[in-house]
Amino acid sequence: MKSTKSNLRKEKTQSLRPHSSIVVDGADRAPSRAMLYAVGFKEDDFKKPMIGIASTWSMVTPCNMHIDKLALEAEAGANKAGGKAIIFNTITISDGISMGSEGMKYSLVSREVIADSIEVVVGCEGLDGFVAIGGCDKNMPGCLIAMARLNRPSVFVYGGTILPGCITGDTRKLDVVSVFEAVGAHANKKIDDAELHKIESCAIPGPGSCGGMYTANTMASAIEALGMSLPNSSAQNAMSKAKKEDCQRAGAAVVNLLKLGIRPLDIMTRKAFENAITVVIALGGSTNAVLHLLAMANAAGVNLTIDDFTKIGKRVPVLADLKPSGKHLMSELVAIGGIRPLMKMLLDAGLLHGDCLTVTGETMAQTLKNVPPYLKGQTIIRPLSDPIKKDSHLVVLYGNLASGGAVAKITGKEGMRFTGKAIVFESEEKALTAILNGTVKKGHVIVIRYEGPKGGPGMREMLSPTSAIMGKGLGKEVALITDGRFSGGSHGFVVGHVTPEAYVGGTIALVKNGDPITIDADKRELSLDIPVAELKKRKQAWKAPKPRYTRGVLAKYAAHVTSASLGAVTDADLKL
């Protein structure tokens, strides 16, 4: 009898340790245990499930500078719940610092590097589950792609949003986009050198991700709606008691998921991705959500396409008055209850799938059951009866300029249609110079090409030119299209992700200065208005450019990356 009970206990213990037991159990695994004693393991620790804590800490960016401390909180939570936590790091880059430079070409590439590195560590070391803590926007989809690939119990933790910056005696709430737009205002002589210096030195007051509904806050919200982070994780200030507690609970939650036998692919279903898209739209989130959700779904084996954003967008309104196109910052949304009351509102209206599983072990409906509504008088989240826009701001366009699709961010404030004359640039830097020096005029459609996933390579974000347009006061006077992409901080009449991209001979490569271009959000069309015969002639004359990089990570990425309309995943990851 004793032997039977002992065997049952052993089987139960090993069921919580499906991977670590292979690495550390038995006499033949003594060398493995010897190595782990050196990093602090005690004898009893080898009987516990090993929980990785994937930290994206670095001093490269304020978004991630505090995550080493959050990793310690997650470690404590996992250990207290009966696991043995192991902290490890992966990389991060800073979009805000590299924006507008050659360095930005590495940004989207880092998503794949982060996913690969987490997969490598968790897979190699036999970790039974893990917490991943991300702060900047590529960290988040990178972490989720790794979770889907590995399919081991895991929870994502958002590092939290930054607090607003301020200038003494000034009521403005500043953030990084304030600085980018100040550059345009400075070029337009609306502010002087001293004012620009004041803004740049005060806009970023400390740790946390960029403060509007930019890509980081968008993706954090999407991941919570997906069910892969704990309730409220997406709407907490980086430096707060709530964020520390979130990390502790996440460590414990992974151990609980092991006990429940719940894995990421049980959570990351088609319905869950529809929930994520719904919340992104309601919040007025970043166009990068399209790129990243497609990539995450691909990793999870879920059939999601850009057309799903159109289908869902026809029934989901924009409700949040958040920057960049709105007035408020994420920290203000945190103060009124975060995104949970919004999600409850969407659930009650039949716009969310309540039966989706979450990392709590409960369904989405169960986690939202007792969420109170926003207090009366708040102006950040509109009621469904009075939306900012009755359908999605994320508009997928097709046409002879984008036969594979393009993604626009149109809130309606810019208008729904723009026709103008093309002014063409072969790089972001050349376009920015022309905007700042006044070459770009009212009525222009700025075309920035050879910035796609293959052509850049790396699909740079165009925050510098879009912010310069706003700072120069041209937000409603010009449009911009590109085979690159946009920061979540971009706003105005802008269209990105144009596919096929210029580098593979897409129509955007054939545009000439002065060509008429029409962007029609109502018809969902992006058109180069020239005769078919002329277009055919240009196509025949076009020659593919030589690769910009022939060695290193950018060359490898360019050789393997797919279209933006597929999420810019690498072909090794593509689900055929």
Please say whether the beta carbons of 485 and 567 come within 8 A: no
What sections of 16-136 are H helices per DSSP? 20-24, 30-37, 67-80, 95-98, 107-125
Q: Which helix (H) or strand (E) holds 483?
A: none
Cα 217 to Cα 233, 234, 339, 389, distances in angstroms: 10, 7, 11, 20
How many whole angstroms separate alpha carbon 170 and alpha carbon 201?
14
Please say whether the beta carbons of 257 and 293 come within 8 A: no
Beta-sheet pairing, 493-499 with 405-409: antiparallel
Rg (CA), the chain: 24
The single-letter code of the amino acid at 500 is: P
Instruction: Give the sheet arrangement for strand 129-134, strand by strand.
Output: 84-89, 50-55, 129-134, 154-158
Record the tokens describing residue 253, joined without a space: 């939650």
For 1, other C-beta atoms within 10 Å of its C-beta total 5
Q: Is 98 a catalytic residue?
A: no
How many whole angstroms separate alpha carbon 427 and alpha carbon 450?
7
What does the angle CA 312 – CA 314 – CA 315 come to, to the nearest 5 degrees?
Answer: 75
| DSSP label at residue 371 | P
Q: Which one of 154, 392, 487, 490 is the catalytic residue?
A: 487
- Preceding omega of 457 cis (within 30 degrees of 0): yes
The single-letter code of the amino acid at 14 is: Q
Please say whether the beta carbons of 184 and 467 come within 8 A: yes
Residue 138, C-beta contacts closer than 8 angstroms, at least 6 positions apart: 92, 93, 95, 107, 108, 110, 111, 114
How many whole angstroms separate alpha carbon 421 and alpha carbon 137?
34
| DSSP label at residue 323 | T
Please say whether the beta carbons of 488 and 99 come within 8 A: no
Residue 373, C-beta contacts closer than 8 angstroms, at least 6 positions apart: 341, 344, 345
Q: Under DSSP, is residue 243 helix (H, G, I), strand (E, B) or coil?
A: helix
> Residue 25 burial by CB count (10 A; 0-12/13-18/19+): exposed, middle or buried?
middle
Record the tokens describing residue 226, joined without a space: 């997906």
Residues forming the active site: 487
